[in-house]
Structure 1
């Protein structure tokens, strides 16, 4: 578990978007909703950065650098970043620069640029209000992004953060497949897609006007080409920057990366991209909490990312309802986010920005938010003291969940019950059974039981007990509301789907209606966070595999780690009522209970 520790100590990042560019982009994103100018313009002062470090334990600050604004609006951010990076270094913190690789604001000198992605009808594709996806095959766009990366490093960036990694239009999962257009249909892309097929000895098919890979060979080929284009674009930038600044670290973010089919929705082949990234990162709507019949957990996110690239820091930031919707949560939520991330072997990212208060965008700030930041920081200090003892620690759970690439990263949006690894993870968390996630990049490890999807073959190295997902007796889950639209409604959905997507990103009334009713979470993710009971017999078998068994009085998360002193039990309370935990040791000594 040493991967999340930087040479200077524990890696504790914070989102801290501020400055003039953030005010512009948030006002644009919020359809005119203003930002708290005083807070935004003074956020990078030394005393506020010191507050993040001393109160919250932050060791890496994600700073505004490049939102995709034209230089006449953004040049001041580049200079502000340089000053902020220098101050972070003076305080012993890393400086991460925000880089926008996939969209731009059509303002000022950028309005007439030729680099925007287009639909088959030649329309630009919105990414939030006033911002549009860019064509990754456009030479001028590639040069612009590379220039910004090199300049950020020259100004002091230790880390380059590629946000919103996607290629063009995002199809949406409606009916039995997807609807809307994916990618870019400009002449460059049409020609590149045709050449890609010819290079593989295929008779070229036309670029699909409607992205339906479940039914169209052209769409399946296009999905491969689209994802390969994004991978090559990012890889080329990383290789160029590493030649000039070899110490730079790189991290990407894909929203909801473990809960949606990123390969089809965003055009992101996460295993391929992860192979040349230093850190992995996912934003989602999984701020840990429990309610009647629901269990929202982010522990599975960390474990899935860790399996994608063993040994690499796995970062996640969790919202409740989304960016520009939530106000600052209570201190207990900050503590839960930190505790769950560390317990699961990940790197929780402090959200210190993009809150809404009194109809204005704002940040965490000294005085008003001391208790919130201190709650996060106290967990950081406790965990830092634990791992700072110089001992090597490793996962101790002996139950594994096998997630091969074809199911986890390129599988169906709605996997069959026999392959639904997310439902299995949800059931294990709910039952308080510690587990690991095992992917194709894992070597032999000391598992007693491996849970395997119905369509997968266990890895050749595994010699223990194999249980198929179907053997766990899990309740069949209800599908997302978006899957109801089948049969007679399908033609209407094909027409309305793209309009709904465009409306959400470009029309204030549609966006606020969806956000206020929490429809994004309810329709897309809501079904994923219902509690999933497991057959009692299967639960007993799995629990007995582990070196310690834990019973919780309220919904929570349990994980096991082992060091020289024995097994550590890590607990996280997902609710508000006090937790009582009963721990029964197995063959190995329990060194401590943390939570």
Structure 2
């Protein structure tokens, strides 16, 4: 179990993701086929100037620094030394340091060409992670020993935490056209023997979790292996330093089927970590013209129901590494405020940005002072508001039941209903929370479910229970043509695999696939889950819920609403998703006394039953009576 006593909470934990130094310069050129890199910016980020901009300007107090990108030791020794020098610089300036370890892949060059620790696909081929990098096998004893050595290096350098990136078990099956394509994990003889010993069967060459029990058994075993190996590494770090803080990249563990793709079991991995970090594509952006509301509220609310007492942090992107320019000050502020309102910390993305000409840069570059100032302003406000974030209970009257195993087993038939319900409630400014069958459901007025209810679930008699699939316009999606026809699916899987490998091997393929937009559509899909449901579907959902208690919020454009109880007081947290300030009206069930808090403003008071005022980025109403 975690032993760290460092305070990890909203307002107290203000982290930034900052890959820099010589290793990141080298990695960007490898990963993106000799792309230009601003070397000076990457070098100064490991020096005092970078630390000052991160800590004094952006008010971050935890920084993720690069220790191990996965280069062979004859190359990476330079990166280890850079980390050892940068760590005390940041610590003396007032921040704690996570040391990054690449857990599931390495650079296929130099002395690593002679290693045999690589994961294999069903045909015995190595599997690419990205250009120049290859997935490794977590069952291989030499790879496990290598990871232990990396942990020792981070702890020995005096870091405050160890960050395990990409805890993925072998190959990730592609998901396209409503089905899974190919195998998952590793098919080396060591892994095959381990699974045979555990289950008495072979690893399926094609995973089909919706209807194949062998696939389900294997995917559960694979996820259990991932958790056990990460726990082994975390325990090794804690044995070296009981105060070390453990975190890992639980990559996009909500908005994509990461259990099947990578072997990530979020609930289980949370028990290994002191702070959960979810890297995803939920950076706040409201696009009324296309009907898309990119947000992290769905991820955070879902994750909080699974990680329980472990503090949650999220690291939202827009399009992804190598595609994003530095975000506007407002989008940073909105995303930080959204995470805090929901009960999580936002990890500031400070790295792997590109300029308009394609040059890689960092948030610490001098020209991004406005962004750092905006981040710092929100962080200062959260530090002031930190007492409001402890010892409180969510009062949302609507619960969205987590589908549990049905979500990863029947992703294409369950996930659309689950995510659409969350988006519809967001658009209607209804406070809602995700619950599990083990939670106390007595405080809910209504419960929504996207999969059949678990047997024996104890439901209060007064609760309105709504099956999403039974609502008008909410029919469950049918299985796709590709999913229904194995011959076509296998043919499609072969083509998809060839395209996937070509993307990482050939410059012409990379440019063509990026220009066609296939990277975001198939390799890192992130838009369809944010497409808001039609007005008629939203109306059908609201009608099924019936009258709801608590404050009602009205605004012209989307506003996040979170309702909390802390002792004898209540809190209403509002976050403006719009691109500009807007007026918001809050109607209470009865007259109240409240304190009003806004970033950068003086506290005010309010008395009455209806509050009307302007919201720029965020607003808190603390109801005292």
TM-score (norm 2): 0.87
Is the contact between residue 68 and residue 102 of structure 2 (CA under 8 Å) also seen in structure 1? yes
Matched, 1:451 2:448: yes
> Is the alpha carbon distance of 1:491 and 1:141 closer, same or farther for their aligned partners in structure 2, counting shifts above 3 Å?
closer
Written as runs of structure 1 = structure 2, the 5 A alignment for 1:30-109 is: 30-109=32-111
Distance, in Å, in 1 between the alignment partners of 2:167 and 2:440 is 29
Matched, 1:26 2:23: no
Distance, in Å, in 1 between the alignment partners of 2:389 and 2:527 is 41
CA drift of 1:482 comes to: 8.8
CA drift of 1:312 comes to: 1.7
> Is the alpha carbon distance of 1:565 and 1:503 closer, same or farther for their aligned partners in structure 2, counting shifts above 3 Å?
farther
Is the contact between residue 179 and residue 482 of structure 2 (CA under 8 Å) also seen in structure 1? no
**Please, which moves more after superposition, 483-492 or 543-552?**
483-492
Query: Helix, strand or coil for the counterpart of 1:165?
Result: coil
Written as runs of structure 1 = structure 2, the 5 A alignment for 1:83-232 is: 83-175=85-177, 177-197=179-199, 204-232=200-228
CA drift of 1:256 comes to: 2.0
Is the contact between residue 294 and residue 531 of structure 1 (CA under 8 Å) also seen in structure 2? yes
Is the contact between residue 414 and residue 451 of structure 2 (CA under 8 Å) also seen in structure 1? no
Is the contact between residue 424 and residue 469 of structure 1 (CA under 8 Å) also seen in structure 2? no
> Is the alpha carbon distance of 1:4 and 1:536 closer, same or farther for their aligned partners in structure 2, counting shifts above 3 Å?
farther
Query: 2:433 is matched with which residue?
Result: 436
CA drift of 1:384 comes to: 1.8
Query: 2:596 is matched with which residue?
Result: 592
Which of 554, 557, 578 is 1:575 aligned to? 578
Distance, in Å, in 2 between the alignment partners of 1:71 and 1:279 is 29
**Please, which moves more after superposition, 32-41 or 268-277?**
268-277
Matched, 1:244 2:240: yes
Matched, 1:420 2:417: yes
Which of 341, 344, 352 is 1:343 aligned to? 341
Which of 270, 273, 282 is 2:278 aligned to? 282
**Please, which moves more after superposition, 66-75 or 359-368?**
359-368
Is the contact between residue 4 and residue 11 of structure 1 (CA under 8 Å) also seen in structure 2? no
Distance, in Å, in 1 between the alignment partners of 2:9 and 2:203 is 48
Distance, in Å, in 1 between the alignment partners of 2:28 and 2:449 is 44
CA drift of 1:502 comes to: 1.9
> Is the alpha carbon distance of 1:406 and 1:224 closer, same or farther for their aligned partners in structure 2, counting shifts above 3 Å?
closer
Distance, in Å, in 2 between the alignment partners of 1:439 and 1:84 is 43
CA drift of 1:72 comes to: 1.5
Is the contact between residue 482 and residue 488 of structure 2 (CA under 8 Å) also seen in structure 1? no
> Is the alpha carbon distance of 1:445 and 1:518 closer, same or farther for their aligned partners in structure 2, counting shifts above 3 Å?
farther
Distance, in Å, in 1 between the alignment partners of 2:49 and 2:271 is 38
Matched, 1:556 2:559: yes
Query: Helix, strand or coil for the counterpart of 1:525?
Result: coil
Query: Helix, strand or coil for the counterpart of 2:371?
Result: helix
> Is the alpha carbon distance of 1:516 and 1:317 closer, same or farther for their aligned partners in structure 2, counting shifts above 3 Å?
farther
> Is the alpha carbon distance of 1:236 and 1:474 closer, same or farther for their aligned partners in structure 2, counting shifts above 3 Å?
farther
> Is the alpha carbon distance of 1:8 and 1:412 closer, same or farther for their aligned partners in structure 2, counting shifts above 3 Å?
closer
Distance, in Å, in 2 between the alignment partners of 1:248 and 1:543 is 49
Is the contact between residue 340 and residue 572 of structure 1 (CA under 8 Å) also seen in structure 2? yes
CA drift of 1:192 comes to: 1.3
Query: Helix, strand or coil for the counterpart of 2:70?
Result: coil
Query: 1:200 is matched with which residue?
Result: none
**Please, which moves more after superposition, 383-392 or 103-112?**
383-392
**Please, which moves more after superposition, 232-241 or 59-68?**
232-241
Query: 2:371 is matched with which residue?
Result: 372
> Is the alpha carbon distance of 1:44 and 1:32 closer, same or farther for their aligned partners in structure 2, counting shifts above 3 Å?
same
CA drift of 1:99 comes to: 1.0
Distance, in Å, in 2 between the alignment partners of 1:482 and 1:72 is 49
**Please, which moves more after superposition, 79-88 or 529-538?**
529-538
Query: 2:603 is matched with which residue?
Result: none
CA drift of 1:337 comes to: 1.3
Is the contact between residue 566 and residue 589 of structure 1 (CA under 8 Å) also seen in structure 2? no
Matched, 1:319 2:300: no
> Is the alpha carbon distance of 1:247 and 1:138 closer, same or farther for their aligned partners in structure 2, counting shifts above 3 Å?
same
Instruction: Provide, for residues 352-407 of structure 1, a one-character-per-residue CA deviation record: whole Å limited to 9, x for no partner.
Output: 11001122111012531111111122122222211247974432322221214223
Is the contact between residue 8 and residue 275 of structure 2 (CA under 8 Å) also seen in structure 1? no
Distance, in Å, in 1 between the alignment partners of 2:27 and 2:326 is 20
Is the contact between residue 261 and residue 412 of structure 1 (CA under 8 Å) also seen in structure 2? no
Is the contact between residue 446 and residue 466 of structure 2 (CA under 8 Å) also seen in structure 1? no
Instruction: Provide, for residues 80-124 of structure 1, a one-character-per-residue CA deviation record: whole Å limited to 9, x for no partner.
Output: 222222122212211011111111111211121111111232211
Instruction: Provide, for residues 145-199 of structure 1, a one-character-per-residue CA deviation record: whole Å limited to 9, x for no partner.
Output: 01111221121122211111111111112345311221111111121121112xx
Runs of 5+ consecutive residues of structure 1 not aligned to the other structure: 198-203
Instruction: Provide, for residues 279-322 of structure 1, a one-character-per-residue CA deviation record: whole Å limited to 9, x for no partner.
Output: 11211122111112211111111111111122222111111111
CA drift of 1:67 comes to: 1.0
Distance, in Å, in 2 between the alignment partners of 1:558 and 1:307 is 18
Is the contact between residue 287 and residue 319 of structure 1 (CA under 8 Å) also seen in structure 2? yes
CA drift of 1:535 comes to: 4.4
Is the contact between residue 466 and residue 544 of structure 2 (CA under 8 Å) also seen in structure 1? no
Is the contact between residue 9 and residue 311 of structure 2 (CA under 8 Å) also seen in structure 1? no
RMSD of the TM alignment (CA)?
Answer: 2.9
Query: Helix, strand or coil for the counterpart of 1:65?
Result: strand
